[in-house]
């Protein structure tokens, strides 16, 4: 009997953001349309693409950038676009919900349906990346979204450093992992360059879970006025798509706008994932230590 085949084409977008939301959304739409022309079914736009990465500074006026999910103009526009093109689009946005604020993604299906919300779970706090000032820790938990083309998991930027997040999404059936991102230079240390480390960690998630992985990052230099003067980050791009053994199948450079695409046979990958045995041989009964912060608290004697 011939093996089943379920083909999906994925895309990662990469571009420089201005601080003009309308212009950025126009750019994102143009690149989504171009990715569709290349055959993409699921198209990933980078993290918080409506403007500059404002978390370089702790400024109360930047809370004005947040909007509720309901009737969010960018989400509504991309729902219309997804329906027109018949593509799936995870959409990153700064969410306001009553008195809480989140770094969030909604997943829009190919018919324009809002399939649900994921709120970023791991919130960084360091020079240039002061997200704890703006974002509550996400409360949705990790999810797998059933889209027209595949069941997908979406993490957001700092989530990509945590193998537990990737495994949690794949355990729920995610067949492809997507990570919208905003990462670049470190304002406090010009010699620190995390790009290779960043990529290798996610290649490990793909290989450990035997699923493709798509990462979309921005490019360009952004200067933000902070309470201590100007802060500058040069975003290093290097968006990529990895296959189910962690191999790089498409990669952008650190300077140029890009539309990356790759094709995967999800049924073939599923068969390999099943035969490899990493999910058969898991021992959840031995992983209770993962529910602690220090490896010992509340552990049975």
Written as six digits, the tokens of 7 are: 């083909």
- Indicate the DSSP class of residue 39: T
Buried b (16+ CB within 10 A) or exposed e, 172-209: eebbbbbbbbbbbbbbeeeeeeeeeebbeebbebbbeb
Burial of 293 (0-12, 13-18, 19+ CB in 10 A): exposed
Rounded to 5 degrees, φ, ψ at 253 are -90, -170
**Residue 138: which residues within 8 A CB-CB, separation 6 or more?**
102, 103, 104, 118, 119, 120, 121, 123
Q: Given the residues 27, 50, 55, 120, select the one marked as catalytic.
A: 120
Residue 256: active-site member: no
Q: Given the residues 17, 27, 29, 47, select the one marked as catalytic.
A: 47
Contact 171, 210 (CB under 8 A): no
Residue 120: active-site member: yes
How many helices and strands (H and E) does the chain possess?
A: 5, 16
Burial of 68 (0-12, 13-18, 19+ CB in 10 A): exposed
Rounded to 5 degrees, φ, ψ at 186 are -110, 115
Written as six digits, the tokens of 212 are: 């493709």
The residue behind tokens 């998630």 is 205
Q: Given the residues 29, 131, 157, 238, select the one marked as catalytic.
A: 157
Contact 151, 125 (CB under 8 A): no
Tell which phi-psi region holds residue 68, choosing left (phi > 0), alpha (psi between -120 and 50) or beta: beta
Please list the active-site residues: 47, 120, 157
């Amino acid at each position: 009997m011939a093996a089943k085949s379920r083909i999906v084409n994925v895309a990662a977008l990469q571009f420089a953001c201005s601080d003009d939301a309308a212009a950025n959304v126009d750019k994102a739409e143009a690149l989504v349309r171009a990715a569709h022309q290349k055959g993409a079914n699921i198209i990933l736009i980078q993290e918080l693409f409506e403007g500059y990465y404002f978390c370089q500074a702790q400024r109360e006026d930047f809370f004005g950038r947040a909007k509720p999910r309901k009737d969010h103009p960018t989400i509504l526009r991309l729902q219309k676009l997804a329906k027109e093109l018949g593509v799936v689009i995870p959409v990153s946005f700064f969410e306001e919900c009553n008195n809480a604020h989140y770094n969030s993604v909604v997943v829009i299906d190919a018919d324009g349906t809002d399939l649900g919300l994921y709120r970023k779970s791991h919130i960084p706090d360091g020079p240039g990346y002061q997200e704890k000032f703006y974002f509550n820790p996400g409360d949705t938990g990790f999810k797998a979204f059933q889209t027209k083309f595949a069941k997908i998991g979406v993490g957001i930027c700092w989530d990509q450093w945590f193998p537990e997040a990737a495994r949690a999404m794949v355990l729920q059936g995610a067949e492809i992992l997507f990570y919208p991102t905003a990462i670049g230079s470190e304002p406090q240390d010009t010699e620190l360059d995390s790009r290779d480390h960043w990529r290798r960690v996610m290649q490990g998630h793909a290989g450990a879970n035997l699923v493709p992985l798509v990462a979309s990052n921005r490019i360009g230099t952004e200067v933000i006025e902070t309470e201590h003067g100007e802060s500058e980050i040069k975003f290093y791009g290097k968006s990529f798509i990895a296959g189910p053994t962690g191999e790089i199948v498409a990669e952008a450079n650190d300077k140029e706008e890009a539309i990356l695409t790759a094709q995967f046979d999800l049924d073939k990958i599923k068969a390999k994932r099943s035969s490899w045995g990493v999910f058969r041989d898991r021992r959840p009964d031995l992983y209770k230590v993962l529910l602690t912060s220090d490896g010992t608290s509340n552990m049975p004697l």
